Structure 1
Amino acid sequence: MSAAKVAALIYYPVKGLAGIPVDSAELGPTGLLDDRLFMLVEPDGTFLSQRKLPAMATLRAAIAGDVLRLSAPNAPDLDIPIRYDGKRRDVSLFGKWFGQGVVQDPDADAWFTERLGTPAALVRVTPEHDRPGWGAHRGLTGYGDAHALMITSQSSLDGLNARILEHGGTAIPMNRFRPNLVISGWPEPHTEDKILRITAGTATIGYSARGIRCAVPTVDQSNGAKSGPEPTRTLATYRREPTYGGGVSFGIKAAVLAPGNIQVGDEITVREWIPPNTDPAQPTSRT
């Protein structure tokens, strides 16, 4: 098998907003440094995402020391101080996880509300935030959907795009899947499904579960608009997952088993493979 390498690293400071590619990153217990530690919520604390507001894809947040810089097309930038602790509010994800967030600057709330056309408030994880994932390796996560990392491979995207093109569609970029780690060098699509434990740089990563896709991959990340049925339509023809409620999968969710530093170009070493025709995630029994 060809040598696999880290092809891209991307983190998302605010859940649902544009990703920030980096050449190297610290990988901590909850994923890439600063990944999804901020979140936008509705007045009742329910999280906001591109599922409901695809325009979130056009908003960007960048961290510079203790400042969060917000930017968007045709809008003024806004710098706000990061509040690591202070006033709290109740927040929730998918009606399954309920916790708290540290309230950030009201100017940020006004900025997001104006950009999105709906009330939105910015929160950050609390200092004591401790949220486990689920699956073969549970790990921890910040405000990610349920896991520390989303991992995809270039061969999987190439295989998907070949099918889309075969049926007269238009190839899609990897950013539709909002990965944290993209792997190149595997000739066979969906090799990531088979890994149980890998190392990259000085970090060790463990498989948690298949990456079941929602409607977000149908959002064009460059303009924040729904772009049609792809890639979901094509994925549905060959990536149905009966043990995950019949959803379609692309990529895997993963946990950080040993923190470390990871860089684009680092070799991926598979330390343990999943036995053929098995899935240690046991998704039908998760709580």
Structure 2
Amino acid sequence: MGSGDMEGGDMGMSAARLTEITYYPVKGCAGTSLTEATLTSTGLPHDRAYAIADEKGELRWQWGDPRMALISPESSDGEVTLRAPGRDPVRADSPNVHAWLTEFLGVPSTLVPSPAGNAHRLHVVSRASLDALNRRLAARGAAPLPMNRFRPNLVVDGWDDPHTEDRAARLAVAGTELAFTEDTIRCAITMVDQRTGRRAGPEPLRTLGDYRRADAGGIAFGAYFQVRRPGRIAVGDEVAVRSGPAVGP
């Protein structure tokens, strides 16, 4: 698996479109959908800007604290507000935010600046990849899974072949250009139902393990890209697969 740097220009395939743009203001919590966004050299603004830490300063994650999926942060004019079922909203800069998180999650929790964010990357998953997985799930009698199990930043629809995202050297979206960095290695978070905030395994890892074992170890689904040429993107933009060296820094 990994980037397939083909000779020539575009890969021969049908036109694809950007169908979802999502950023995650708090690492491990619900995402916020956008219809358009400005990509910078560090990715989507405010993506994984914050994280939730325990009493030892270690970051909480959804498999250990699945109710994190029910926290819906929103960013407006640089101000992040947290919302959750049965709770009044709270701003990230409020002195009450730590108590709010502790009460909702049921364990001591603090909101902290994310130490790594998403490493200045965009997580890309194609609809073709999810459709291929869901066909395999159906064949073993399991229910299909929604895209939010994989928490992508960008979703692409229209590619004929599943997993085109991890064979593309570069992607051009409107006036921007993205360069492949590595496959996305999946963890137990994919077994958390993002709608209910409950663990729901063993899928998708059981089925992905049948056919998506990465050469370097782990189970791969989706791919990470760096922004090499910033610019404005919008849902509906054409996504073109390029080969050859990337532009930009």
Q: How does 1:85-96 map to 2 (within 5 A)?
A: none
**CA–CA separation in structure 2 for the residues paired with 1:65 and 1:110:** 24
- The alpha carbon displacement at 1:210 in A equals 0.6
8 Å contact kept, 2:41–2:120: no
Match of 1:171 among 140, 144, 150: 144
Alignment match, 2:105:
116
Per-residue CA distance 1:123-173 (angstroms, 9 max, x = gap): 225xxx8xxxxxxxxxxxx512x4511100000000000000010000000
Q: How does 1:137-286 map to 2 (within 5 A)?
A: 142-144=116-118, 146-243=119-216, 245=217, 247-272=218-243
Alignment match, 1:64:
76
8 Å contact kept, 2:30–2:72: yes
- Alignment TM-score, normalising by the size of structure 2: 0.89
- The alpha carbon displacement at 1:202 in A equals 2.1
Q: Measured at CA, do residues 270 and 11 of structure 1 come closer, stay the same or move farther in structure 2, by a change above 3 Å?
A: same
8 Å contact kept, 1:197–1:205: yes
In structure 2, give the amino acid aligned to 1:203.
T
Q: Measured at CA, do residues 147 and 234 of structure 1 come closer, stay the same or move farther in structure 2, by a change above 3 Å?
A: farther
Structure 1: 5+ residue stretches without partners: 82-104, 130-141, 275-287
**CA–CA separation in structure 1 for the residues paired with 2:146 and 2:120:** 23
Is the partner of 2:169 in helix, strand or coil? strand
Instruction: Say whether residues 1:19 and 2:31 are aligned partners.
Output: yes
- The alpha carbon displacement at 1:106 in A equals 2.9
- The alpha carbon displacement at 1:80 in A equals 4.5
- The number of aligned residues is 233
- Alignment TM-score, normalising by the size of structure 1: 0.78
In structure 2, give the amino acid aligned to 1:112.
L
In structure 2, give the amino acid aligned to 1:252.
A
**CA–CA separation in structure 2 for the residues paired with 1:80 and 1:51:** 23
8 Å contact kept, 1:147–1:253: no
Alignment match, 1:106:
95
8 Å contact kept, 1:195–1:273: no
Per-residue CA distance 1:192-211 (angstroms, 9 max, x = gap): 11111111122111101011
Instruction: Say whether residues 1:35 and 2:55 are aligned partners.
Output: no
Per residue, is there more strand in 1 or in 2? 1
8 Å contact kept, 2:130–2:147: yes
| Greater RCO (Cα-Cα under 8 Å, separation 6 or more) | 2
Structure 2: 5+ residue stretches without partners: 1-12
> Identity of counterpart residues, as a percentage?
42
